[in-house]
Amino acid sequence: MRPESGWMGTTFRPIPPGMERGSWLFPDGANCERVLELDCQLRPARAWIRRVLSVALVASGFWIGWWAVLPLLSTVFLFRLCDGPIERSRHPEYLLFAVWVCSELITAASIVLAGDRGMAMTAWLALPVLTLGARFSGRGTTLGVGIALAVLVAVELTTDAAAVRANPPVLVAPAALILCVAMFQSVIVRSELKLRGEVVIDPLTGMLNRRALERRVDELQQQSRLTLQGVGLIAADIDRFKRFNDEHGHQTGDAVLVEVGYRLRKSLRAFDFGYRTGGEEFLVLLPGADLEETARLAEILRHEVECIEADGCCVTMSFGVAASPSGRTFDFDEVFQRADAALYEAKSAGRNRVCPPVAAATPRAA
């Protein structure tokens, strides 16, 4: 199953290891993860904006000159060229910001090439600012607005400085537009992030919570009625977690949970979903995966967690896996019960292992 995309669709990509730790642009690493997910959702709309502007430039080419069209068209290749490095980077937010600056400069180049006839296009410099709040923290937004204003001043003075001196509103109006767009966008995005974080994100581990799981299960069950694709499920539990709290204190126990959540998130595929369902209990949903794929990913997760040490103790996890068969509607309760029974078997067999369903339950009719 591929990530979904479209005019108003959502596209998910894996979060590279290291970025959850935070950076100058994103002091809150978990917030960085959610903001980059929003950036994925901007891709379809961004493509349509480029198309609209390209049509506008072509329609105006006779008056402003055809050379002004070329820089904007080059943004198509710029974003495609950078998608791969962004996804592989430990701190993709810096590459995203560099691409954002390039998009602002490319828009400026189109205006400059149009000459004094392109002064009406300076308002377009506010369009990239629309995405600042959805992509970057307060620091990034402030820096981006400063760059946009500097580019605006440079463009207007380069294009027709005399017109600016004779009629300052031609500079003041687009500058005010940039500032107002940035302020409104920032408030809306921060409120949305706060709401999402409070509702569906576990504040300690950064994993999705039970409420998010309920929503996703409903979505998958509705989708499976149409696609009849299988869904894999991994039930996981930290081995002997109580001893970390009893022997080393709750601070160490919390640190273990944070590190386990980080290791699980970084190892999941782009369209898998990880949840913290209890104190030391986790669950992963794998749309489109069969039992073999599910067990393979569970083994990767088991190995990642096994590398964790806490106060001289090695952290391990046990995993139970199950999957709904292709060609039938996904029944979460049935698949979860089978994965949970497999988890119990993994615990009984010595822990730190992956176990498949002990006996496949008879699937219900679609």
Question: Is residue 131 a contact partner of residue 49, using CB atoms and an 8 Å limit?
Answer: no
Token reading at 147: 């760059």
Q: What is the DSSP string of 22-79?
A: --SS-SSHHHHHHHHHHHHHHHHHHHHHHHHHHHHHHHHHHHH-GGGHHHHHHHHHHH
Say how far apart CA 208 and CA 292 lie, in whole Å.
24
Question: Is residue 242 a contact partner of residue 253, using CB atoms and an 8 Å limit?
Answer: no
Pairing of strands 317-323, 354-355: parallel
Q: Between the CA of residue 177 and those of 99, 145, 361, what are the distances in Å?
A: 22, 11, 61
- Per the residue annotation, which of 33, 198, 280, 334 is the catalytic one? 280
Question: Is residue 241 a contact partner of residue 351, using CB atoms and an 8 Å limit?
Answer: no
Handedness of CA 128, 134, 136, 137 (dihedral sign): positive
Token reading at 33: 């993860």
Residues 295/296/299/301 CA torsion (nearest 10 deg): -100
Active site includes 293? no
CA angle 290–291–296, rounded 5-degree value? 100
Question: Is residue 350 a contact partner of residue 240, using CB atoms and an 8 Å limit?
Answer: no
Instruction: Collapse the DSSP code of 284 into the 3-class scheme (helix H, G, I; strand E, B; otherwise coil) and give the result.
Output: strand
As annotated, the active-site residues are: 280
